[in-house]
Amino acid sequence: MPPDDMGPELHFQLASSDRKQILSELLKEDLHVSEMAKRLGMTDTETIRQLQRMTEARLLERMPDGKYKLTSYAKIVLDAAAPLDFMAGNREFFMNHDAKLLPVEFRARFGELSGAKLIPEAIESMNIVAEMLRKARERIDCTIEQGSQLHLEIMKQRIADGVKVRWLMQESFLPKARDILRSAKFPEMRKTARLRVHIYMNEKEAAVSLRTNSGPFDYAIFHGGDLQFLKWAGDMYAHEWERSKPWYP
């Protein structure tokens, strides 16, 4: 196939849910036609047709033992497609939230959020964050724009319990912070003019939310303990922490 035709052909291959499922199954292990047909609930004839099409597109190769496996090109394609798959699976969220505020390198890593669950309801998300804070044993990293009184009280208690707490605060919150920080133990604090993302993390879970298109944060969060999701949230928090300024009450 001529190089100029490879782009449209690749999009065609990834547009099929059956072919994407084939790629997903072969990412786990190499398979024979009959094994693939059983997993996809397809006939051997239809499975062979799909496998041949994908082999011609250089996404798969057939080994001497008859099994099919992903090419190195296919593995790169899957890595590149993961952010798009994640955004497509959460289309309504991204229709209403401004992901463009995030650095491009973190938007390119959106596929790492695939292991998190979208929690759209305010009461449920507030309760999840509160439970995360209560369960923290080593550390809590969080961003604060307005600050839930419940969450703030829990964190004050966790500080007293010896948990390491870091607050990355929007400057508009600082007057309130001065009023509530009346104890011998303070969190480590930094300030920034405007938060671009909301993050709550302990050592095992994270919750992430984005600004809505109209500006404010809402209560829709991505939550989970998936290792890739935790890596993304931790790196994002570290990035925002480093670009902020220390603050002392």
- Is the CB of residue 249 less than 8 Å from the CB of residue 186? yes
Length of the chain counted residue by residue: 249
- Portion of the chain with pLDDT greater than 90, in percent: 71
CATH topology of domain 3-80: Arc Repressor Mutant, subunit A (1.10.10)
* Predicted pLDDT of residue 2: 44
- Give CA separation, 149 vs 24, 130, 155, in Å: 44, 11, 10
* Predicted pLDDT of residue 70: 93
* Predicted pLDDT of residue 3: 45
* Predicted pLDDT of residue 90: 95
- Give CA separation, 158 vs 51, 133, 150, 188, in Å: 55, 8, 12, 13
E strands, the chain, are 60-62, 68-70, 117-119, 139-144, 164-170, 188-192, 197-201, 206-210, 221-224, 245-246
Tens digit of pLDDT for each residue in 59-104?
999 999 999 999 999 888 888 888 888 998 899 999 999 999 999 9
Q: What's the one-letter identity of residue 54?
A: M
* Predicted pLDDT of residue 80: 81
Domain limits, CATH 1.10.10.10, in the chain: 3-80
CATH superfamily of 91-246: Endonuclease Chain A (3.30.870.10)
- Token match 């938007």: residue? 107
In order, the DSSP letters of 126-182 are HHHHHHHHHH-SSEEEEEESS--HHHHHHHHHHHHTT-EEEEEEEGGGHHHHHHH--
Q: Give CA–CA dist 223/217, Å, rounded.
A: 16
- Token match 């603050």: residue? 247
Dihedral through CA 88, CA 92, CA 95, CA 97, nearest 10? Answer: -110
Q: Residue 87's beta-bridge partner residues?
A: none
Listed as ranges, residues in the chain with pLDDT below 50 are 1-4, 6
The answer to pTM > 0.85 is: no
For residue 236, the SS3 value is helix
* Predicted pLDDT of residue 1: 42
Q: What's the one-letter identity of residue 164?
A: K
* Predicted pLDDT of residue 13: 62
Domain limits, CATH 3.30.870.10, in the chain: 91-246
Q: Give CA–CA dist 52/58, Å, rounded.
A: 10
Angle at 62 between CA 37 and CA 18, to 5 degrees: 35
